Amino acid sequence: MNTFAQYHVIEHTPAKLVVRMSRGQQRLHFFAFRVMPWIMLTAFITSLSFAQQMPMGLIYGLSLLALLAMTLLLLKQYVTILTIAEKNFTITFKTLTGTRVVTIPFQDAGFISYRMRRGKGGGLFYYLHTVQDKRIHLLKIPVFWMSREKAHAINSVLEKLTGLQVKEA
């Protein structure tokens, strides 16, 4: 059983953990966060051409809402590679402009929290809380792969590797 579900475990030793998001999940995230906003914008502009009888205020409001949704989706970043080794976290994010790598030493980390949410948009979410009160996304296990047993197994691995407390949010 792969404890980290949508991530492929590249290396897992007592001193190091490297997980990478699967190719399928990377494609799904790319489509959802990079392609879908443009499809939404095109569909919205096309639908506006048929909205001759709508009040201008409503058209402007819907336009603003569509642009806001598109912007938020385009600015969304997601974790593709997580490395825990040598007394630090190295997190590789995919962003709108490319790839961003963040390295956080263990001494700058306060604790790790996780949240299990069921239903649509649910999953098992892990966050790193720094001593500067920043919350950084570490892992997301989709709802159909999550379970309490998997959460306990991930918690155990994270606690052993980092020495940080893992607690439920």
Domain shared by 125 and 48, yes or no: no
- Based on the domain organization, do 59 and 85 belong to the same domain? no
Q: Please tell me what DSSP assigns to residue 14.
A: T
Residues 82 and 149 in one domain: yes
- Please indicate, yes or no, whether residues 63 and 85 belong to a single structural domain of this protein: no
Residue 46 structural domain: 30-75
For residues 118 and 137, is the Cβ–Cβ distance under 8 A? no
Q: Which of 75, 91, 110 finishes a domain?
A: 75
- Cα angle 121, 137, 169; round to 5: 70
Residue listed under structure tokens 């009160």: 133
Please state the pTM of the whole predicted model.
0.84
Whole-Å CA distances, 6 to 14, 48, 133, 146: 21, 39, 28, 10
pLDDT digits (tens, 9 = 90+) for 132-165: 999 999 999 888 888 889 999 999 999 999 999 9
pLDDT band at 118 (very low <50, low <70, confident <90, very high): confident
Note the maximum CA span of the chain: 66
pLDDT > 90: percent of the chain? 64
Q: Are 128 and 104 in contact (CB under 8 A)?
A: yes
Confidence of residue 1 (pLDDT cuts 50, 70, 90): low
Region of 126 (left: φ > 0; alpha: ψ -120 to 50; beta: rest) is beta
**CA dist., res. 113 & res. 90, Å (int):** 17
Find which of 2-11, 115-124, 126-135 is predicted with most confidence, using mean pLDDT. Answer: 126-135
Residues 104 and 163 reside in one and the same domain? yes
